[in-house]
Amino acid sequence: MKERDQVRRDTLRLALSALHYEEVASGAPLGADALEQLLRKQARSRRESIEAFAKAGREELVARERAELAVIEGYLPAQLDRDAIRSAADRAIAQSGATGPADQGKVMRAVMGELRGKADGKLVAEVVSEQLARRAG
């Protein structure tokens, strides 16, 4: 607040409000894992808003949501890059014996089990889909 960073202040207030709401709903303080999950949910919400606002041509709102997303991501562990996800997907494909896109669910379960909290599920799904398409064709 002393820095007069309104975006950071407002974003943290919203996150603290969501945290308080979850604590009241559960009746107990949240642990570190639950807090991280809450922040990931907040980040996912911002990403979805960015997509929607971009489609509607609302660039000022896109910029605001991106700034809020950057604040939230500052409190989350670093996410894996596409190459690391591709390596995990290749291992899961080899272990499961997947041969094509029909096996995506089986591969996704294995990959997300390994990468939960380390990579965005949407990006993982894209990479798995690409790798299975390569194998099939």
Q: Is the pTM of this model over 0.75?
A: no
Confidence of residue 32 (pLDDT cuts 50, 70, 90): confident
Burial of 59 (0-12, 13-18, 19+ CB in 10 A): exposed
Tell me the per-residue pLDDT of 92-126, one tens digit each, with 9 for 90 and over: 888 888 777 888 888 888 888 888 878 888 888 99
Confidence of residue 21 (pLDDT cuts 50, 70, 90): very high
Q: Give me Rg for the CA atoms of the chain.
A: 18
Whether the CA torsion 14, 15, 17, 21 is positive or negative: it is positive
How many whole angstroms separate alpha carbon 134 and alpha carbon 37? 33
SS3 44: helix
33 CB neighbour count, 10 Å cutoff: 9
Q: Where are the beta strands (DSSP E) in 28-121?
A: none
